[in-house]
Structure 1
């Protein structure tokens, strides 16, 4: 009987999953018996056009920990770069070639922690479905699974994030939420722990996540030592959202949403109502609000609030206007209202944001 290529691939993956299941349960039995266990195997799963720092950042955190654990032969990490394709050599987003030790089709060791690195959204459209089957099959047999940056999209499509609070790169948070409504996407944290799933924000946030995983495994003193070695904060203050725009990129907005954005962009200093927006499109308020939520993923009021926040951030970055004047030009009653808006959305006051990002000095 001739077996199709897809069926062959299925049996290969099934065989590997069975091997992993046996390895994982062997380690669990060893722990119950009080015997020493092997070092923890960390898999960094990469796809073409991966962001180098998504891999290199966590890699350096885990391998740096090994240097401080060199007197404990049974402790530490083995870190593996694994290709999410059938090819062991893939190319990063910067064009650098990466040589992976394994692919998802030939892993022959048990996995303790698996982190999916980020790539471009265009690559995600071309991903072989085998990667989703692999993640679904291995998920019950790993201690932890997580993502760096837009790696969250891969876990989401595999159905592993449903009902969980997650984060991703601030630029793609709205796209993630709209694409997968069962998720609770929070743009503020640099990483989110919703056991056994861990998701981190944009690029360098993978190092924040890796330090947190290290702290879980070996305690705060070692994690702090590694952070000092890599010249990092063990826990960064602030929020990821302070680095990006509150609204998604204009290019990815729907035509309907773009019309409202274009209508409001020069009127933010005025009193704007939902009735005004609806009238512009010759719609009833009720129908307009319903369509707007469907098209943008948020209410008209929330959209307007985010537009005002983005304009205020821009003015704080590129002008020397007083905070009171900026509040007025953004349609807010006073500096106190502007401060509330900032603290609610990015956990910084307008003055703190200006100090961190102003370019006029």
Structure 2
């Protein structure tokens, strides 16, 4: 870890803005870096960040996903200053389908000129599209991790961490994870005291407890499942409390066990048993959030057999016990 004050002078930070970006992908890291400037000015340090909003298109005014306009001082076509750190904000995946490939050329060209490069949320898809994540350990928003892995099998996608650092590449998870990453970059540059001061000012954890998947579903969205997997899911959803075997599943689908297992793995990426486990986990999370049913009863109704088995699975997948999850995510009435 670098000590406070190690880096001197001005460091240029580029936040690359795409159409339909979520505001927090850009505003979150921006607030971390600008807050750091205020604290360093108070300490009379000869160091600062200079933050630039750069459009990933030829237009300097882009609209966020909430409809708010974002005015960029530069575009990828007219950067005329050295860049220390570049972070790519995320956007809707449908926007990326029609993105101008000039952005990939720009990122590849600037890669060797920056100290570090990173992404917030689905910005990882942009870095991957430019071929900059090959062979890297990366993360993205938990909801899109499976899509990233299937689209770029040469990556090692881990949905759990809020951010991952692999050589000079930094990728962060969903939306607010960009602030987790920015704080980590700040600590790397100027040490823990400055990063802690900024975190307290912004009412954030310097290192947020837990993992990303505590916020999401164990399974992909229903709409992302194939027709075959949807049919299996619909057959299982009312039998989660039963002792369902792979023979039961294949029989219900009028298939042999071997063929059912092969087709299921090909279309879902996981085994039928793993899929059933994740269905049970999602159902238990739902019951913990929206009911007052005891944890023992939830374990029984979701097919875990005992509260001990339920707790073991929760700790494995989301690093929280069922009671901790209920306390953190159950709404107030």
* Deviations 1:301-341, CA, capped at 9 Å, x for gaps: 22111111000000001111111110111111100000011
Flag the structure with larger Rg.
Answer: 1
**TM-score (ref. length: structure 1):** 0.87
- The question of 1:110 aligning with 2:82 is answered yes
Partner of 2:181: 209
Distance, in Å, in 1 between the alignment partners of 2:263 and 2:44 is: 60
2:170 to 189, 198, 208: 198
Distance, in Å, in 2 between the alignment partners of 1:189 and 1:275 is: 36
Q: 1:254 to 1:100 in 2, by over 3 A?
A: same
Partner of 1:268: 240
Q: Does structure 2 conserve the Cα–Cα contact (< 8 Å) formed by 1:320 and 1:360? A: no
Report how many residues are paired: 326
Q: Does structure 2 conserve the Cα–Cα contact (< 8 Å) formed by 1:41 and 1:111? A: yes
Q: Does structure 2 conserve the Cα–Cα contact (< 8 Å) formed by 1:318 and 1:360? A: no
Instruction: Return the offset for 1:37.
Output: 6.2
Distance, in Å, in 1 between the alignment partners of 2:61 and 2:127 is: 22
Instruction: Return the offset for 1:271.
Output: 1.1
Distance, in Å, in 1 between the alignment partners of 2:32 and 2:14 is: 13
Instruction: Return the offset for 1:38.
Output: 4.3
- The question of 1:225 aligning with 2:197 is answered yes
Partner of 2:103: 131
Partner of 2:313: 341
Instruction: Return the offset for 1:181.
Output: 1.6
Partner of 1:355: 327
Partner of 1:188: 160
Q: Does structure 2 conserve the Cα–Cα contact (< 8 Å) formed by 1:319 and 1:360? A: no
Distance, in Å, in 2 between the alignment partners of 1:354 and 1:259 is: 30
Q: Which has the higher contact order (CA 8 A, sep 6+)?
A: 2
Q: Does structure 2 conserve the Cα–Cα contact (< 8 Å) formed by 1:113 and 1:142? A: yes
| Coordinate RMSD, CA, aligned | 1.5
Partner of 2:25: 54
1:325 to 280, 297, 305: 297
Distance, in Å, in 2 between the alignment partners of 1:98 and 1:249 is: 30
Instruction: Return the offset for 1:208.
Output: 0.5
Alignment partner of 1:69: what SS?
helix
Alignment partner of 1:272: what SS?
coil
- The question of 1:45 aligning with 2:1 is answered no
**TM-score (ref. length: structure 2):** 0.94
